[in-house]
Amino acid sequence: MDLRRPSLSDFGVLDNEALRSVNQTIVLNVIREKQPISRADLARITRLKESTISSIAKRLMGEGLIYEANLGDSSGGRRPRMLRINGDRSAALGVHIAPQQSLIAASNFSGKILRQRTIKTDSDPERFLPRLAEEIERSLHSDLPAGLKCEGIGVSMPGLMDRSQGKIIYSANLDWREVEVGAYLRHRFGHDIMFEDNVRCAGLAEIWFGSLTRLAPSHMINLLIDEGLGTAIIIGGHLYRGATLGAGQFGHVSIDPSGPRCRCGNLGCWESFASNTATINRYLQARGVSGAAASIPFSKLVALARESDRDALLALQKTGEYLGIGIALLVNGLNPEMVIVSGEISRAWDLIEAEIWRNLRIRALAGNLNSMKLQPSSIEENPSLMGAISLVICRRFALPPPGREGRRALTATR
């Protein structure tokens, strides 16, 4: 799935039926991005006739996809009726499988979490998958308001995977190999189920629910930091997956050949220095804590740093240093317009930003660095979970498929 929304420049020759579908998709996306918005502004932005906009708006309201909200400001005539997406038309279920705890969340069509469930992730998938399916079943039956139809289930998983099959080929963080998650869940549920890896889900969430709904750079990197570290690479507005779908594994690029052994078997991986796990371990080592007591939530570590715990602050700042070192590699090698840092580390941005930039300025090429923007994620919820939800929701905003045989094909310029 491309991590972008359709634009007016994406289409070639269309017949009347396909053109109506494309125009409707464009209008729906503009309403979503600019809401609340008037019909006149829709016509100005899309360059469609106001009569066409009125016809499309009527059709979308008839389908329950949009509704008329409050009156807008007058520019001399009657105050315009403002249009909004109807978030309560339908629902989505998002599932985020992670090494320690997995999440299941019911969401409305606007991405608002209605209820969230948490279960402990078992290292044995044969024990874990039945429990996961039971919680999904409970969520479908108990977490959605009456009359709100679930349009599908999106699943975020860590590691190298076959997204069409929902198969984890290898996950170092879960220590799973050749696990048929998709086959198991599709056997249990009749709903449409979509799969994506957790890093790309975080990038998708940023575009659909975050700050990039109004700023969509063509060349972007979304850096997800949790128990591990990975990157979603957007080139020319499209997600780059690599020859064997393994692109973005920068967390397993060695930045210190004499460093600790990573779970992937390599020495000194970036992930071993800049992940949440690495940051927590640095703090615990500084405090002389080990064994069964060596456990602390990352959110607690951030809170301690803000409460003037020097060891917590130094552990985070050291992570900022390592992030600067790794991001410099991305800047020099890929020359992105923007790098987004996602995960709980973004909540400590004011504590680590200076260290990131200090190391970037030392190591990154000035020409590449000067043209790049660096910012924390604007997603308040778990970004991979929100990405799983958006796998379902964004299908409503996706380009329509080509029509019947014999119809002139919808052609993309990309």
In a domain? residue 400? no
Asked if 346 contacts 302 with a C-beta cutoff of 8 angstroms, the reply is no
Is residue 101 assigned to a domain? yes
Question: At residue 309, what is the residue type?
Answer: D
Same domain, 71 and 132: no
Tell which of 71, 86, 101 closes a domain: 86
Reference 336, options 377, 376, 378, 371; nearest CA is: 371
Specify which residues 267 forms β-bridges with.
261
Q: Which residue has the tokens 């709100």?
A: 148
According to the model, what pLDDT value does residue 3 have?
55
CA–CA distance, 156 with 96 (Å, rounded to integer): 5
The residue among 53, 86, 119 that closes a domain is 86
Q: What is the pLDDT of residue 408?
A: 33
Are 370 and 223 in a shared domain?
yes
Q: Is residue 414 part of a domain?
A: no
**pLDDT value for 253:** 95
Q: Are residues 97 and 168 in the same domain?
A: yes
3-state secondary structure the chain: CCCCCCCHHHCCCCCHHHHHHHHHHHHHHHHHHHCCEEHHHHHHHHCCCHHHHHHHHHHHHHCCCEEEEEECCCCCCCCCEEEEECCCCEEEEEEECCCCEEEEEEEECCCCEEEEEEEECCCCHHHHHHHHHHHHHHHHHHCCCCCCEEEEEEEEECCEEECCCCEEEEECCCCEEEEEHHHHHHHHCCCCEEEEEHHHHHHHHHHHHCHHHCCCCCCEEEEEECCCEEEEEEECCEEECCCCCCCCCHHHCECCCCCCECCCCCECECHHHHCHHHHHHHHHHHHCCCHHHCCCCHHHHHHHHHCCCHHHHHHHHHHHHHHHHHHHHHHHHHCCCEEEEECHHHHHHHHHHHHHHHHHHHHCCHHHHHCCEEEECCCCCCHHHHHHHHHHHHHHHCCCCCCCCCCCCCCCCC
pTM of the model: 0.81
Say yes or no: 157 and 264 in one domain.
no
Radius of gyration of the chain (CA): 23
- Joined together, the tokens standing for residue 29 give 């996306």
Same structural domain for residues 251 and 355? yes
Is 360 in the same domain as 263?
A: yes
Q: What is the pLDDT along the chain (414 residues), one digit of tens a residue?
A: 555 555 545 544 445 666 677 788 788 878 887 888 999 999 999 888 999 999 999 998 988 888 998 765 655 557 788 999 888 888 999 999 998 899 999 999 888 899 999 999 999 999 999 999 999 999 999 998 887 889 899 999 998 899 889 999 999 889 999 999 999 999 999 769 999 999 999 988 887 887 665 555 678 999 999 989 999 998 877 788 888 888 899 999 999 999 999 988 899 999 999 999 999 999 999 998 875 556 799 999 999 999 999 999 999 999 999 999 999 999 999 999 999 999 999 999 999 999 999 999 999 999 999 989 999 998 878 999 999 999 998 887 775 554 443 333 322 222
CA dihedral 387, 194, 330, 368 (to 10 degrees): -70
The verdict on 109 and 256 lying in the same domain is no
* CATH code of the domain covering residue 184: 3.30.420.40
* 348 domain residue, yes or no: yes
Q: What is the rounded CA–CA span in Å between residue 378 and residue 341?
A: 9
Would residue 198 count as lying in a domain? Answer: yes
Alpha carbon of 135 to those of 132, 151, 290: distances in Å?
A: 5, 18, 34
Q: Are residues 292 and 245 in the same domain?
A: yes
Residues 36 and 95 grouped into a single domain: no
Domain extent, residue 391, equals 90-203+387-395
Q: Does one domain contain both 196 and 253? A: no
Question: What is the domain-level CATH number for residue 14?
Answer: 1.10.10.10
Longest Cα separation, the chain = 72
Instruction: Output the CA angle 266-340-270, nearest 5 degrees.
Output: 15
Q: Does residue 133 form part of some domain?
A: yes
Q: Is residue 71 part of a domain?
A: yes
Same-domain status, 17 and 128: no
Q: How many domains does the chain have?
A: 3
> Of 33, 54, 86, which one is at a domain's C-terminal end?
86
Residues 266 and 236 in one domain: yes
- Is residue 300 included in any domain, yes or no? yes
